[in-house]
Chain A
Amino acid sequence: MIIIGERINGMFNDIAHAIREQKPAAVQEWAKKQEAMGAGYLDLNVGPALSDRVTAMKWLVEVTQEASDLPLCLDSTDYDAIEAGLKLCKQPAMINSVPAVQEKMDRVFSLASEYNAEVIGLAMSEEGIPKDAESRVALAMELVANCDAYGVPLDSLYIDPLVLPCNVGQDHGPEVFETLRQVKLLSDPAPKTVVGLSNISQGTENRELINRVFAVMAMACGLDAAIADACDEDLIAEVATARIVLNMDIYCDSFVEVFRTQNL
């Protein structure tokens, strides 16, 4: 499972401060730290409170690329900000994200086609997050069809079945796992899958434990990527272990270290 490091996000005070003051140190430290811990992508989110998201995203992309060679995951609901960021990315990036809403899909998949980007597609529509797996898969199919229509390779699409906190939407858990399984049957090549891992534990006690258990269970259902805390050492160790158990990596005694140092 690919970890998309979640830490460069304006909802964290140090990043919000860095963006406001145009001081790259905190951003670059987190970029390096997440890369060293085994992240495969770096999520960049300018945060909710900002008025000029375009300028902020451009700045985040530039300063992050000075510190890390990892591909970036541009995280915004403002597609102008995403496009401005894509123009500056040195290597193909990921767009985070688009729901199954036609005008949004039109904009995002044409951006993906133009900038050779990957896309996170949310299994939700204007009516919100579906309750069951069938409705999630139906929305995933809309995303797959639009992805294909815009000529974006299907394995560049990451379907996010949308995870709800387990203390609020406990019944969604099994539906998410079922969605992860069924999404793999939608096309050939199959789309990939992603979740925002920390959503499962919002507002709960012992969040990291819940995140880790959810991650390995989702991996067994075919999860390819998670936006997650790359600096949670136990999470990385458990992902490395799950990859061995699922026969995704060849075993050796140092399998955790090998997974951690894959970027080095």
Chain B
Amino acid sequence: MAVELYKEKYRSQVREVVLGATKEEGGTRTKTITVGGQTALPFMYFEGENPHRPVVAMEVWDVVPEDWPASLKNYFEDVYDDPAAWAKKCVEEYGADLIALRFKGAHPDGKNASAEDCIDVLKKVLEAVGVPLIIFGCGVTEKDNEIIGPIGEAGAGENLLLGIATQDNYKPVASAAMAHKHCVIAQSPVDINICKQLNILIAEMSTPLLDKIIIDPVISAVGYGIEYTYSIMERARFGALQGDRMLAMPCIADVSKEVWSKKEAYVPEEENPEWGDQADRSLAWETTTATAMLHSGTDIIVLSHPEAVKKIKTHIDELVQGGS
């Protein structure tokens, strides 16, 4: 007798969010990307739909990433002083689905790039590649609040994914998204309650933004509490599938930022011989972290290492329905 698999029934769906805009839609992207739309847990095709495959964004900076270890920097040494060329290489050579443009150069302790400088970089990258863009600031709230408005305005029509709105500082990003019709990354500190509340706060500014929010639950690298992130994402997704429309948003995981700031990724073998080869170790760190995030239901994964991108894209091929 055939065994009948028990199937969980869900009554709701994750919202679908479109990133980017083509010429017909008022932008200049050659294609848009749709994420979300799930009616079941990740890759559980027998229980419901996972209509859109997860996508991989590659990180591009507006300044040379001096601190990156050679094992990573080597892949970009011909382009990393030119964000447009760097983005082009990520898309054409390494297969990035999107570009995550990080305005590190705006950091007040670094180059302290102005909004105009950032816009200049944005325009060049938009021209160089046809994929949708994610925008990250330098990480200093005051400075990011200064540049996000002008960046949103300069990118009007492109349906950018603007980061980062937090509970204490969501208005600048949400306003830029509202005014210029972009999407928003809503970041909460591994906290399901704040995650939900922040979505409500953004929706109170503008109800249509509900369909333009991407949740950033703040992920951790392997060894740094990734299991907490995993359970938050699991809870959010269960909530979404059971009808909690304030949690029914796709998710992003900034794997690159978390992994490459950890010593396991950058400490050379000479300093810590028992950890083994730094190049292999860092690649494994990024790939393993990204894999866990993929399985927890992340829709957009941000990576840096071209080999990690390759491995994760292969893994996505294997996981999606019809994969081998």
Partner-B contacts on A (CB < 8 A): 249-254, 257-258, 262
Contact = CB atoms under 8 A, between A and B. Distances in A.
A254 B197 contact: yes
B200 A254 contact: yes
A253 B193 contact: yes
Contacts of A249: 244
Contact of A258 (B192, B235, B246): B246
A250 B197 contact: no
Contacts of A258: 196, 200, 246
A250 B196 contact: yes
Contacts of A251: 192-193, 196
B247 interface: yes
A250 B200 contact: no
B51 interface: no
A250 B240 CA distance: 10
B65 interface: no
A253 B246 CA distance: 12
6 contacts: A250-B235, A250-B244, A251-B196, A257-B200, A258-B200, A262-B245
Given A250-B235, A254-B197, A258-B200, 19 more contacts: A249-B244, A250-B192, A250-B193, A250-B196, A250-B236, A250-B247, A251-B192, A251-B193, A251-B196, A252-B194, A252-B196, A252-B197, A252-B200, A253-B193, A253-B197, A254-B200, A257-B200, A258-B196, A258-B246
Nearest to A253: B197
Contacts of A257: 200
A186 to B, nearest CB: 20
B37 interface: no
Interface in B190-247: 192-194, 196-197, 200, 235-236, 239, 244-247
Assign chain B's interface to a size class. Answer: 10 to 19
A258 B199 CA distance: 11
A254 B194 CA distance: 10
A23 B239 CA distance: 42
A253 B192 CA distance: 11
Contacts of B244: 249-250
A257 B199 CA distance: 13
A19 to B, nearest CB: 34
Contacts of B196: 250-252, 258
Contacts of B192: 250-251
Contacts of B236: 250
Interface string B162-184: 00000000000000000000000
Nearest to B195: A252
Nearest to A249: B244
Nearest to A251: B193
Nearest to B243: A262
B99 to A, nearest CB: 33
B239 to A, nearest CB: 5
B174 to A, nearest CB: 16
B237 to A, nearest CB: 11
Interface in B241-262: 244-247
- Name which of A250, A251, A254, A258 has the most chain B CB atoms within 10 A of its CB: A250
Contact of A252 (B193, B235, B245): B193
A262 B235 CA distance: 19
A7 B140 CA distance: 54
The 8 closest A-B pairs by CB, nearest first: A252-B196, A252-B197, A251-B193, A250-B239, A254-B200, A253-B197, A252-B193, A250-B192
Contacts of A250: 192-193, 196, 235-236, 239, 244, 247
- Name which of B192, B194, B200 has the most chain A CB atoms within 10 A of its CB: B200
Contacts of A262: 245
Nearest to B235: A250
A126 to B, nearest CB: 37
Contacts of B239: 250
A249 B12 CA distance: 14
Nearest to B167: A253
Contacts of B197: 252-254
A258 B239 CA distance: 13
Contacts of A252: 193-194, 196-197, 200, 246
Interface in B237-295: 239, 244-247
- Name which of A251, A252, A254, A262 has the most chain B CB atoms within 10 A of its CB: A252
A248 B193 CA distance: 14
A249 B235 CA distance: 11
A188 B79 CA distance: 62
Nearest to A189: B9
A225 to B, nearest CB: 15
B37 to A, nearest CB: 21
A53 B211 CA distance: 44
A254 B203 CA distance: 12
A254 B192 CA distance: 13
Nearest to A257: B200
Nearest to B199: A252
Contacts of B193: 250-253
B306 to A, nearest CB: 38
